[in-house]
Amino acid sequence: MSFKFKSLLSKFLVWKLKYISERQFVYFLSILVGILAGMGTVVLKNLTHFIRTLFELDFFRDYQNSLYFIFPIIGLLLVYIIKQTWLKKHIGHGISTTLHAISKLNGIIPKYNIYAALITAPLTAGFGGSVGLQGPAVSVGSALGSNLALLFRMSPKTRMLLIGCASAGAMASMFKAPIAAIIFAVEIFSLDIAFASLVPLLLASISAVLTSYMFLGTDVLLHFELTDEFKMNHIAFYILLGLATALASVYFSKVYFTITNFFKQFKSRALRLLIGGLAIGTMLFFIPPLYGEGYGITNNLLKGDHLAAIGVTPLHIDLTNIWIVIGLLLGISVFKAIAMTITFGAGGVGGIFIPTLVMGSALGNACAKVINNLGFDFNVSESNFTLVGMTGLMAGVLHAPLTAIFLIAEITGGYELFVPLMIVAAISFSITKYYVSHSIYTLRLAERGELMTHDKDKNVLMVLDIDTVIETNFIILKPEMKLGEILKNAVAKSSRNHFPVVNDYHEFLGVVRLDDIRHMMFDADLYNTVDASSLMQTDSGIIDYHADSMNSIMDKFKASGVWNLPVIKDGKYYGYISKSKLLTAYRQQLIKFT
């Protein structure tokens, strides 16, 4: 940052303090963040579309099925080269990375996240990687919001709000669904929905949608026209669809974690690329609809054209047999999750949001076809089931039922289907939540105790830094120290009333408390006969510096009933945390948080 720019920025900040209120400036920033997030999403879409357009030339079209095997490997290789030679940094999944930044980094997101996903995600999806662009769009927008807040010296709370605004903007711009975008920001990022935060979300969402309209026109990602009304006597079938999407959501999550863990065992990124590239290439060769994001599948199924959705396969299967079509649609549902996760495992960059829509649409359409072809004269709407199936998968996989309901209703105009949307979303979410406690976005964060929720008390504890509450100025005793030496070199020189005991390896053994030796302090006969090992007591709870979160530390204080607990770091004694200091830090952080 040049000196001249810094000088201008300083003058602007002084002017802002004099003439613009904090709330007004936040409103202005939310609009700016919405525009920037919208532009980031537009660039992502256009770059991906440009790459895909190149492969639709006649030269490539003649060898399309064969090239389905090669293109994803080329895309993954390009991403690998960019990561290794230029970025040299890890690119996480957009929403998970943003959640981690909110919970543990005070909303600070490195600048490279602005352009990292902007380059690598179109290469991954454009060359056929079976991933979406919503996650990268959120990553780009969130990084823009975070760095804009840092530039204008905004508080951590405002910084986190602007990240939420950017995420809402990315969603609104991607799907042209401003209402669902606000719900997405609140539901996924656990934002406070007070009036002060709701208005910036509205402004960001609207400005992002308008930006998308300006550059991309009025065209939408999913095209749906409601022709079949919801019928009450079809509720039982929608309940069955809810159960099917719940099962598929559990499957999706389990497959994701299993394949992710499989790729983690390979330390070499090049080996991951080789294994993943060959696997994804093979799947795309035999199941071409898995190529790229997959909007073509969903849109064709919504139009009732399952032949176009399935496309031309190299196996030359008889698609006039409806049961073969159903089998292929179920195959797309099964393998979409596998193809997506392998793309990630091989080093690709993308999101899981859109693959859930594709998987849900194929499953919903297949379920409708099964019902209609059982021979019992049932006649449910295949397009409606396609639509509602997307809601079920999104509600289950993402653990975001409200986002699922409003997004599908808003982007398709299917508000008359609110009842089946709600039924399927509720069933899918509740069953999936029972078997998979956290979504793909949040599981790793929850395991580390770093997940933001709508529980404000837990959120405040989570953002506390453990180093700010650890006290290390205790006089340390050795187990062989005699009572006289303890009184002379520890008790007399310290204002503390307890003294940790460690061995020669600095491992924590116990604690000598002043109350426990007060009755023998003036008995000189004991000075050379009683040592620390016989005086010390083991603490009723020990804090692990690396493993324990602030929530678990507070739970240990509650369980033990003591006011001080020792901290162990890498197996060695490190210091103490007092409940009074922890509660003081909590109150100070709560003031900032609210």
Least confidently predicted of 7-21, 78-92, 169-183, 397-411 = 7-21
**pLDDT at position 364:** 93
Dist. CA 398–CA 405, nearest whole Å: 12
pLDDT bracket for residue 249 (50, 70, 90)? very high
Dist. CA 175–CA 411, nearest whole Å: 6
**Range 178-182, long-range pairs (CB < 8 A, 24+ positions):** 178/202, 178/205, 178/206, 178/208, 178/209, 179/205, 179/406, 179/410, 180/403, 180/406, 180/407, 180/409, 180/410, 180/411, 181/205, 181/208
Q: How many CA atoms lie within 13 A of 344 on its CB side?
A: 28
Least confidently predicted of 195-199, 254-258, 402-406 = 195-199
Tell the burial category of 10 from Cβ atoms under 10 Å away from its Cβ (0-12, 13-18, 19+).
exposed
Percent of the chain at pLDDT > 70 equals: 85
Start-end ranges of CATH 1.10.3080.10 in the chain?
15-216, 232-453
Q: What is the pTM of this model?
A: 0.76
**pLDDT at position 591:** 61
The stretch 89-93 carries a mean pLDDT of 70
Q: May I ask the CATH architecture of the domain 458-593?
A: Roll (3.10)
Give the residue carrying structure tokens 């496309």: 311
List Cβ neighbours of 495 (8 Å cut-off, separation of 6 or more): none
pLDDT tens for 295-328 read: 778 888 888 887 777 776 666 777 778 888 888 8
pLDDT bracket for residue 154 (50, 70, 90)? confident
**pLDDT at position 58:** 56
Beta-strand relationship, 498-502 and 564-569: unpaired
Length of the chain: 594
Residue 16 CB neighbours (<10 A): 16
pLDDT tens for 485-542 read: 877 887 778 777 778 888 888 888 888 888 777 777 777 777 787 887 787 877 677 8
pLDDT tens for 105-141 read: 777 788 888 888 888 888 888 888 888 888 888 888 8
Token digits for 430? 């509740």
Give the residue carrying structure tokens 């290794």: 84
Give the residue carrying structure tokens 């793309």: 343
Dist. CA 390–CA 403, nearest whole Å: 12
The CATH number of the domain covering residues in 15-216: 1.10.3080.10
List Cβ neighbours of 171 (8 Å cut-off, separation of 6 or more): 134, 137, 138, 177, 180, 181, 184, 185, 205, 407
* CA dist list (Å): 547 to 466, 543, 582: 11, 8, 17
Token digits for 519? 């009755």
**pLDDT at position 515:** 76
pLDDT tens for 52-83 read: 877 666 555 555 556 667 888 888 888 888 88
* Whole-number average pLDDT of the chain: 81
pLDDT bracket for residue 17 (50, 70, 90)? confident
**pLDDT at position 590:** 65
Beta strand segments in 119-200, E? none
Element holding 123 (H helix, E strand): helix 112-126
Dist. CA 189–CA 191, nearest whole Å: 6
Residue 88 CB neighbours (<10 A): 9
Residue 121 CB neighbours (<10 A): 30
Residue 295 CB neighbours (<10 A): 16
**pLDDT at position 414:** 61
**pLDDT at position 462:** 61
Dist. CA 139–CA 86, nearest whole Å: 19
* CA dist list (Å): 345 to 132, 225, 279, 290: 15, 37, 11, 16
**pLDDT at position 363:** 94
Residue 95 CB neighbours (<10 A): 27
Token digits for 305? 């054209």
Dist. CA 10–CA 14, nearest whole Å: 6
Burial 515-530 (b: 16+ CB within 10 A, else e): eebeeeeeeeeebeeb
Residue 92 CB neighbours (<10 A): 18
List Cβ neighbours of 467 (8 Å cut-off, separation of 6 or more): none
**Does pLDDT of 246 surpass 90?**
yes
List Cβ neighbours of 458 (8 Å cut-off, separation of 6 or more): 551
The stretch 446-456 carries a mean pLDDT of 55
**pLDDT at position 483:** 78
> Which of 133-147, 148-162, 388-402 has the largest mean confidence?
388-402
Start-end ranges of CATH 3.10.580.10 in the chain?
458-593
**Does pLDDT of 204 surpass 70?**
yes
Residue 119 CB neighbours (<10 A): 19
List Cβ neighbours of 533 (8 Å cut-off, separation of 6 or more): 479, 480, 501, 509
Percent of the chain at pLDDT > 90 equals: 12
| Residue 12 identity | F
Tell the burial category of 220 from Cβ atoms under 10 Å away from its Cβ (0-12, 13-18, 19+).
middle
Dist. CA 162–CA 157, nearest whole Å: 9
Beta-strand relationship, 543-544 and 564-569: parallel
Least confidently predicted of 179-183, 356-360, 559-563 = 559-563
Tell the burial category of 452 from Cβ atoms under 10 Å away from its Cβ (0-12, 13-18, 19+).
buried
Residue 2 CB neighbours (<10 A): 7
Dist. CA 132–CA 298, nearest whole Å: 13
Higher pLDDT, 175 or 586: 175
Q: Please give the class, per CATH, of domain 232-453.
A: mainly alpha
Strand partners, 471: 576
Burial 573-591 (b: 16+ CB within 10 A, else e): bbbbbbbebbeebbeebee
Contact between 383 and 155 under an 8 Å Cβ cutoff? The reply is no
**pLDDT at position 143:** 87
